[in-house]
A = this chain, B = another copy of it.
Amino acid sequence: MDNFQFQNPTKLIFGKGTLKNLQSEIPAYGKRVLLLYGGGSIKRSGLYDQVMDQLKELDAFVVELGGVEPNPRLTTVNKGISLIRENKLDFILAVGGGSVIDCAKSIAAGTHYEGDVWDIVINKAVPVAATPIGVVLTLAATGSEMNGNSVITNWELKSKRYFGSILVYPKFSILDPELTYSVPLDQTIYGIVDIMSHVFEQYFHATESAPIQEQIGEAILRTVIETAPKLVKELNNYDYRAIMMLNGTLALNGLLAMGVRTDWATHNIEHAVSAVHDIPHGGGLAILFPHWMEHVAKTRPEKIAQLGERVFNLAKEGKSDAQLAAETIASLRAFWTSIGAPATLSYYDIDETEIEKMVESAMITPTIGSYVPLKAEDVRNLLRKSL
């Protein structure tokens, strides 16, 4: 196990009817609020009105910024920064999923930075202060509700990058599973893929001896795999939504990364794909991850074999690690297909035309990933196989 530091100060407020906790939580940070949200779904579902009612009760001064994109853009971050500065706001309430929360974090840090906030996103500058953030989560997927990471797309540069800081952890996050009932089937599926992918990125780490971290990762995967087929058939089931919501948070709140060098190559590649083509993050991951595993299995099949045995209940006896790894990857593909996730980039009408642009965008360092570091050539091959 490697040395590590872990601190996660976010207060989780989980369960039915917890939206009313806005009343008790917000006043500590001030009542001049930037209300951040995405497309029209929170208006259709009635959540927007409920949130506004809470803010009115508080006698809050509210400035709204809606329309945050599924891959949130730098232009939107800059709009948010301007609104906070012009209106002297002191709190950001992010109502939505990962993109809205990620956008809030970059706004929060960028507001207190004199230069271009993109410097922070690409880790050229370090945040020194941040406007406090509260979250009302509407989607189980991202983990952003309980971490300090923010992924932003610079559409001009076709570049999707991220930063992390202890300063931008949400002060509180309200997780009411009922607020995810309105998430449509495709987004629900993408969320499931995203959660599992977050575990994979940390499970395939480059550190010796981290059995408890791996066992907890397997616990999350088993629970997701058990719950997902039931959830996609019954989107308004409280238990299934609650289990998925908590799993989404636990998969990326720092727990699995304790003391290990995590990978994240597949996320880098997906960011490159969706920076060029603006596809759903979870859809991209479902396509790319089995191909990443196939590449990795050529030299390091053992952990994929372990995953198959412990999570997909594959029989180990009489098989080499390579055989078991191949079965594991087949099981993962079959599982994702069974719940309705895509398997090829052609599903999103992506062909080989812009592969070089994607490779270039993915290779933010000479190699990416740590479990098996990938070179540009590996990423190119992986993308070709994913077409």
Contact = CB atoms under 8 A, between A and B. Distances in A.
Interface of A: 1-18, 208-209, 211-212, 215-216, 218-220, 222-223, 226-227, 239, 242-243, 246-247, 250, 255, 258-259
A306 B211 CA distance: 21
Contacts of A220: 212, 215
A228 to B, nearest CB: 12
Given A7-B9, A8-B8, A242-B1, A258 B14 contact: yes
A259 B15 contact: yes
Nearest to A213: B246
A259 B14 contact: yes
B215 A222 contact: yes
Contact of A5 (B3, B4, B12, B255): B12
B212 A243 contact: yes
Q: Which of the listed residues A208, A216, A222 has the most CB atoms from chain B within 10 Å of its own CB?
A: A216
5 contacts: A1-B239, A5-B12, A9-B9, A212-B223, A216-B216
Nearest to A211: B223
Given A212-B219, A216-B219, 9 more contacts: A3-B15, A3-B18, A4-B12, A7-B10, A7-B12, A15-B259, A215-B222, A216-B250, A246-B259
Contact of A223 (B9, B208, B215): B215
Nearest to A15: B3
A6 to B, nearest CB: 4
Contacts of A8: 8
B14 A209 contact: no
B209 A239 contact: yes
Nearest to A176: B3
Given A219-B212, A219-B215, A246-B212, A11 B3 contact: no
